[in-house]
Structure formats: C-alpha cells, structure tokens
Structure 1
Amino acid sequence: MDKVVLGLSGGVDSAVAAHLLCESGLEVYGLYLDNGLPGADAAREAAASLSVPLTITDSREAMEQYVCTPFAEAYLRGETPNPCILCNPAVKFRALLDEAERIGAKHIATGHYARAENGAIYRGQPENDQSYMLCRLTPDEVNALLLPLAPYKKTEVRALAEELGLPVAHKPDSMDICFIPDGDYAAWIERRGITPPPGDFVLDGKAVGKHRGIHHYTVGQRRHFGVGFGKRVYVSDICPETNEVRLSSDDAAVWRESFRVRGVNWLVPPEGEIVCGVRIRHSRRELPTGTVTPDGDGAIVRFPAPVRAPTPGQTAAFYDGDRLLGGGFIVK
C-alpha cells in the first residue's frame, strides 16, 4: 500500500481529503505545521476521528524566514503580497516532501481545490478554484502531489463531512492569513516594531490629506481612507520613496494594458512568447487572455484591453486552458 503525507490543518477540507485518500486505498499520514498559534488540537481531533497518524512539526522558523519577513518587507515597499503563494513552495509543501522522504511515502497531498495529474496542475471547479495558489511549486512538489478535492465544490465537501459525521463539518473556513488571525495585517506589521510614518494623500498633484502609513493601502482601493474627499477616489500608486499615496478620481487610472513580472516560476517552460490566460489575483472571474514575453527571470505581460489594478507584489499566474503554466510577482 502506497503512503501519502497529507497536510492536515484541522479544517473541513483537509479532513475530507484524508477520508478520500483512505478510501482510495492509500495509507495516509497527517502532518500539521505548528506556527505558534492555536490549531494543533483541532488537527489532533480530526486525525483521531479519521484514524490517521499525525505528526506535528514546528514551522515557526521557516515561516519567519520565507513568509513573515518577506511579507512585511513587501508592504514597506508599497506592495501587496500574497502570503500563501510565498508559503506553499518554501514551507508547506517543502515540509510535506521532507516528511514523505522520512517515512518513505510516494505522495504528498493537500486539501486545495485544484487538479494534479501526471506532474501537471489544472484549475479546479470554478466556484472554488485554488490553482492560482500553487503556481510557485517546484517540480518535485508537483510530481508527488495528489489533490483529492479536485472534482468537488466546497458545498459538496461540507455535505460529505456532515454525512461522514466528521467533527469539523461545520467549522468555519480558515482565515486568509494564518499567522494574522484577526486579519489586521497593518497592526501586525506595527507589532513587529515597524511603523511606517503618516504621509500625504496626493490627488491631481496636490496634497489633500494625511494617510496613516503606506502599509494600510493597496492599488485599486476605493474606501477606508479615514479622510473624506467629497467624491469617490482610487489608490492609483503607492510611493515609498516619497511616502505618498497617490489617488485618482478616475477609475481608468488603475487600469493597465501591460505590466512586468519578476521571478517567474515556470511549471511548463515556454520556448518563446506565448498567448495564454492570465490571473492577476485570487478571483472567480474568467481569465483575460494576454501575451507573455519571457524577459530574463521575469516576463512582460500585455493585454489587448486594459485589466483593472494589476497590483505590485501580487502574483500573475499563467494558464493554457485549465493547465497552470507558472507565475511571477507583479512589479511597477
């Protein structure tokens, strides 16, 4: 019987994934990554209910090095990073592979909503596709990967959990940023001893008020400024060099026909320029088609029509139909 190491968080997705893997005839071993916050007890309860052995490993040092520090530094550069995309290849999937090697397991698995087949990753069900989050995985991680929730919608997974009597059937979905449980990333950055100073909101070349620090804002934002401007405005640019948050009263100012990405991770290396689907944020919206021109370790992405707010620090993921080709970080 082949062994598989499953990332078991104590949530409904990973619990149902464990059940499906066991039903498929695999010998399932759970791995919980302890980041220093509550959650291990829920993972133990889920593992016990499924009769799956569980290993708990301390991930705090790796999280700090590969996720938390880069996350905070990106905000100080005026960027808006996605921590899950940072974490997956360097921490979560790396730990799964290490554990698989330790126990002699052939496969690793997670509860992501995407499809993995023959060393390739594909989009999952449109309602809850999470393939975007996997665009920076390494070849070793992809080749070993099983994604048992591929054919399911989230509602179907919850219904199955309830049918199976799993204790996590009605557990709320996990937060977007696991190491910031309250979701207040700006306060988290400040608690690390980093407090970007207030500066100017700039509209049409004129200072029109004071912002609270550039880490509170993202390109395309249109509310929660703490200042009234008498009309709807949008963040069009964040300038750490001048400590300005630039605004526009015209939404067209945040639309772009092209942008550059750095550090592209190609799961399917192109032979040259390609035309493909491009996802610029985790979203259910249909993928716009763009032309991607490799350029050194990055690429230039161009669209036939503008797309809204390609945000520095976020990831652009590339697709050939449903197949994930890779992804890189958007820059100014």
Structure 2
Amino acid sequence: MKELTGRVAVVTGGSSGIGRGIALACARAGMIVYVTGRSPDHLSETQSEFSERGLTVATLQVDVTDLNAMRQAAEQIEAEQGRVDLLVNNAGIGLTGPVSDATAADWDWLIDVNIKGVGNGIQAFLPVIRRRGEGGHIVNTSSMAGLLPIVAGLYSMSKAAIIGLSEALHIELLPERIGVSAYCPGPTHSNIASSVAKRPREYGESGYTAPGPEATEFQLSQPYMSAEEAGERVLEGVRRGDMFILTHPEFKEGVVARHRAIEDSFPDEPLNQERAEAIPFLLSSPVYQQENRLPAPVYTPVH
C-alpha cells in the first residue's frame, strides 16, 4: 500500500505512546486518521497534540475487549468515510512478572486485551477493508518479547501469539492485496506501564504490583526510541508490505541466536520422505523464500 494520501487509517490504542506515534505518522502522510482508546484524558490529549501540529484526528472511546463496541466503531467509520484502508491493532497492556505469580485474572486480562483485542479488531474491520475490493493493510503490534521471550512470560506468550496470527493472516490475505504485518518493537517511549495501573475491576486481584508513575518517568528518561520515530518506521513497513516490521536492530544478534537454537534442536537423522510428501502444505510457504523477500529496510529520519 504505497500511496497513502486520502486513505483511512484506524489505530486502536492510538491515544498515547506508540499508537499515537503511528497515528501522527499516518496524519503526516495525508491519511484520514481515527484513533481509539479507553481513556478520555488520553483521547483529549491526542486531539490537542494533533491540533497544535496542524493535523486532524478523530477519536473514539472504545474498549478493544468489547467486540460489539469495535463493530459499532467500524460501522461508524465506514458510514463517515466509506472505507477503511489501514488497521493498526496496537492496543495492549504490559503486564509483566514471573509466570508463577500470575493469578487467573491476570491470564484472563492479558489474553483478552493482547490477543482477543487484536482478534476483535480483525473481526470488526477486515470486512470493511474487503468491501472496497482495493486491498489494504493490517498491522498487529507484537513485541520483541514475542521473538525473545527472556522475561515477562505471560506478556511474551501473548505477543508470540500475535506473530503467529499475523504470519498466517499475511499468507491468507495476499491474494486479496491486503498486507499484514507483525510489528515487533523494542523499548519505546510509551504509556504501557501506566496502563497496568488502570486495570478494570472485573479482572479482580493481580499477582503483580502495579507500577506507579515513576515507572513511566523512568522509561522516558532512558535512551529508548521515540514513539514518533517508531510510528514512521511502522508506516514505512506498510508502504513496503513487510510481513515483519522490526525497528530495533540491537536485537538482531539475540534473535539469530534463538533461531539457531531452534534449528539445532531438530533431530539429526535422515528425513522421512514419505511423511514429508504427505504434508507439503505444512512445511513452508513461498513468502519465506529469499526471492520473495525485500532487502532490509533503511530508516531515513523525518525532518
């Protein structure tokens, strides 16, 4: 999806952090931008920031765990614009800590937001994208924690699920010219820590201590990637049609080592040819072949 001017973008969790950075990149590219979020304060801040920059954004208060609300948002946007071209399933929570400390409610909340929330976005907006018959793009925000599950087990689990979902959907929707990307950022200035403190009551007690404001202040003091740079890198991945959008090159060595550990775990024995011939559809996909892959992206800062 190379030409973005005049197209319609929807960014869930777009009222703060990485989501807002992606939404700003979309607006600067000339797109019509809608952002959703749970916090009225964050939505108001987003409106103010866009206005100060001379940009336009529409905001909707929507909880991604509510499929009916997501469908209503999709219906509203389609009624107003007649189309959706880009969906960014960005809403997520950064619930972290030892797996053994998690309560049943922690499992439920993390899965409902980080996995089912993405599913709700796909169910609500993919039909709208399809109806135009002009292609489009979906970005699902995962994390480097989905590729390197070294810490934060439940969070890593949820983000690894999004990578698998995105790859399968990428292959599935290619014939319709609808691209799908798994976006796996490393540390980026965001409000993901503070989102944990706004746990809905229905999810009960957590096994983890919610981080205070100092957690966000600490993140902002670190040399992490800015949300705006992350947003521009995501939009470049959309233009390229990348299946994976990886923005932090400092993680490459670790990911390569992990993948090598996986490769080296296969049995060192002759291939069962009869079995292989019975399951060719499970063994690989053309999208992974070198001739079907683009060269690595090179980021050019936006001035």
TM-score, with structure 2 as normaliser: 0.36
Bigger-Rg structure (1/2): 1
More helix, by proportion: 2
TM-score, with structure 1 as normaliser: 0.34
More strand, by proportion: 1
Larger RCO of the pair (alpha carbons < 8 Å, separation 6+): 2
